[in-house]
């Protein structure tokens, strides 16, 4: 199983690094070190997408972010992202997102962007890991302004796995399409005062400006307001993607041992605890509210 997962990861990396180029199954076969037939089979098995569908959806989602963030022409984006014609790109964009790319560039509404999770974050056996080596953890006080957060609530979820079971993993794609004041979506453990009856403690959302237009909130999501607050940011060392669970455990152990009174603070139970997406190259990051 590990050999196949590593092969699919190599194919994903190749796609990411050559997204603007023509990518063939033969190209993917060379990096996977398996035959084209078997490469196609394991890619579909672990990503739930054929290589062609995966590439098409990833190109469309990346192109949507470019249209959202930059002043560019649809024709230039179409050819940059490997589409043979503007008409073909417009049809694919409309089919994927339900809107025309030119209209979207003028009014970037939230979209369900494609985000490949299955291989990067395999669901593995949970439990406490024995830490054989203590690694460095960077701790820093940061401040967040008064802001609003577009969130999607679960039912009973207290962690990522339970949340995905209840809500689904495609929520992240929608959140990625919304411009965030913090640069990326977040996961949160809400304090009691923000939890509605019959809803979860753990939610996913995106932080936006305090004057965010409520009419732009996607159906099934809601807008909550959070006060200005201070946090202790715990950041671990970079890690291999398959070791993400161990990286999270390292930070959680550090948080349990840390006494904020040493720097003149105490834990703030009126503000949410914030989890950022585990990305190996930057290390796992979690924000604990303090006062």
Query: 112 near 173, Cβ under 8 Å?
Result: yes
pLDDT 10s digits, 35-62: 999 999 999 988 888 999 999 999 999 9
Query: 146 near 228, Cβ under 8 Å?
Result: yes
End-to-end CA gap in the chain: 47
The predicted model scores a pTM of 0.77
The token pair that represents 81 in the structure block: 């992202």
Fold of 2-106: Arc Repressor Mutant, subunit A (1.10.10)
What is residue 135's predicted lDDT score, i.e. its pLDDT?
73
Q: Which one-letter DSSP state was computed for residue 70?
A: S
pLDDT 10s digits, 125-169: 444 444 455 578 999 999 999 999 999 999 999 998 899 899 987
Residues 228, 231, 232, CA angle at the centre, nearest 5°?
Answer: 170
pLDDT 10s digits, 29-41: 999 999 999 999 9
Does residue 261 have a pLDDT over 60? Answer: yes
pLDDT 10s digits, 222-235: 999 999 999 999 99
pLDDT 10s digits, 69-96: 999 999 999 999 989 899 999 999 999 9
CATH number of 137-290: 3.20.80.10
What is residue 119's predicted lDDT score, i.e. its pLDDT?
60
Does residue 120 have a pLDDT over 70? Answer: no
Element (H, E) at 55: helix 51-69
Region class of 151: left (phi > 0), else alpha (psi between -120 and 50), else beta? beta
Domain coordinates of the chain in residue numbers? Answer: 2-106, 137-290
């Amino acid at each position: 199983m590990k050999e196949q997962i590593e092969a699919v990861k190599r194919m994903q990396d190749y796609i990411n690094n050559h997204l603007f180029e023509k990518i063939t199954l033969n190209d993917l076969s060379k990096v996977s070190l398996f035959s084209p037939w078997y490469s196609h089979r394991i890619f579909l098995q672990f990503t739930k997408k054929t290589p062609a569908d995966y590439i098409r959806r990833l190109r469309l989602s990346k192109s949507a972010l470019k249209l959202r963030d930059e002043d560019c022409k649809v024709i230039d984006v179409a050819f940059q992202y490997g589409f043979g014609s503007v008409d073909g790109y417009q049809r694919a964009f409309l089919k994927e997102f339900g809107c025309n790319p030119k209209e979207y560039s003028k009014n970037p509404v939230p979209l369900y962007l494609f985000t490949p999770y299955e291989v990067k974050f395999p669901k593995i056996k949970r439990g406490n890991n024995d830490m054989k080596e203590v690694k460095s953890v960077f701790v820093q006080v940061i401040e967040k302004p008064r802001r609003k957060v577009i969130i999607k609530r679960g039912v009973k979820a207290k962690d990522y796995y339970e949340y995905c079971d209840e809500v689904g993993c495609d929520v992240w794609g929608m959140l990625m399409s919304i411009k965030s004041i913090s640069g990326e979506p977040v996961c949160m453990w809400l304090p009691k005062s923000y939890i509605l009856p019959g809803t979860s403690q753990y939610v996913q959302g995106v932080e936006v400006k305090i004057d965010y237009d409520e009419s732009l909130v996607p159906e099934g999501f809601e807008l909550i307001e959070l006060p200005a607050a201070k946090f202790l940011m715990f950041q671990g060392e970079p890690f291999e993607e398959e070791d993400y669970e161990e990286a999270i455990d390292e930070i959680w152990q550090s948080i349990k041992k840390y006494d904020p009174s040493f720097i003149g603070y105490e834990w703030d139970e009126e503000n949410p605890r914030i989890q950022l997406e585990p990305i190996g190259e930057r290390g796992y990051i979690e924000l604990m509210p303090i006062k």
